[in-house]
Amino acid sequence: MVCDDSAVIRAAIARVLESDPEIRVVARAANGREALEEARRTAIDVVVLDIEMPVLDGLATLPLLLREHPALKVVMASTLTKRGADVTLRALSLGAADFVAKPSAAAALGEDSFRRELLLKVKALAAPRRTGRTATPACRPPSSRSPRLLAVGSSTGGPHALFTLARGLGARLAVPVVVTQHMPPSFTSILAAHIARAGALPCTEAEDGAPLRPGHITVAPGGWHLIVERGPAGLRVRLSDDPPVNFCRPSADPMLESAAEACDGRVLVAILTGMGQDGLAGTRRIVDAGGTAVAQDEATSVVWGMPGAVARAGLCHAVLPLQEIAPKLLHLLTDLPT
């Protein structure tokens, strides 16, 4: 279902979706009230939901949709503004599966970048998922060396997972934390603020040359790869505008690969829900260098792409439900010998 108060935008998004033979638009709505009515009489897998609408806006509609249809996947259509980013992050915390950055002009909805992003996300979210614990290859033992860094990669469904992780990590951590979440530039500073509010650890968007401090979460800025370097005073950030990796900038792989080198492999990796396989190459580099990896399981992932890739490759010490990841990380951070 496509829900947008503009008939032109509704038609343009529907055309993009139906350009793929595997997708069928079964309903359209001009506001949240109409969307609720359509969802009651039509079988729907995914909703593309606008945020700003009359009668009932997207933020008010979202929890009502999910209350009546818990299995529904909702993609928020967001403008690339600071307010749009803040509202979108609130929607993700309320249960939206993902978002797409809606161009300001209707004509731009047909551009390749928007078309590719929308189709990939809708198809990934509509794919059948198993609900039980997923059978994975035998897990590796943890590294025998204590980590110097906790590195986290996530994408689709990642903000909610990151909020849960931040709450579970508590208020004291002996190592720095770096996070790459696939998001555009105007969103990552807002994401960092939401992560800080969700948990007890400080969290900020990365700045070039900034030190990585124990007990502090640093988020890769949209449009830049976060590179971990070892400087005279310890670990620090370098921001890189090198080309996208796995179609992403920021990408988890450059962060993880650089962390493996800067920390001599003493890195603990957590790969959370996300589409694609970004993080696979970097996790392999860390594990080969003596680090340890943990992945989110399929049952609690919005999309089991990124964590599934590292799990199937046999790189993980553990594949766990989201709520069990923070306790496992804390155990690995505190119980390994130095």
AA identity, residue 190: I
Q: Which of 78, 98, 154, 182 is catalytic?
A: 182
Gap between the Cα atoms of 137 and 287, Å rounded: 15
Q: Would you say how long the chain is, in residues?
A: 338
The whole-angstrom separation of Cα 82 and Cα 100 is: 15
Q: How far apart are CA 204 and CA 184, in angstroms?
A: 16
Question: What phi-psi label fits residue 6: left (phi over 0), alpha (psi between -120 and 50 degrees) or beta?
Answer: beta
Determine the Cα–Cα distance for residues 267 and 256; give it in Å rounded to an integer.
Answer: 9
In DSSP terms, which residues pair with 74 in a beta bridge? Answer: 47
Closest C-alpha to 182, from 108, 130, 121: 121
Catalytic-labelled residue, pool 143, 154, 155, 251? 155
Helical spans, DSSP H, in 140-264: 158-169, 185-198, 252-262
Considering the candidates 278, 297, 301, 317, report the single residue annotated as catalytic.
278
Active site annotation includes 182: yes
Residues marked as catalytic: 155, 182, 278
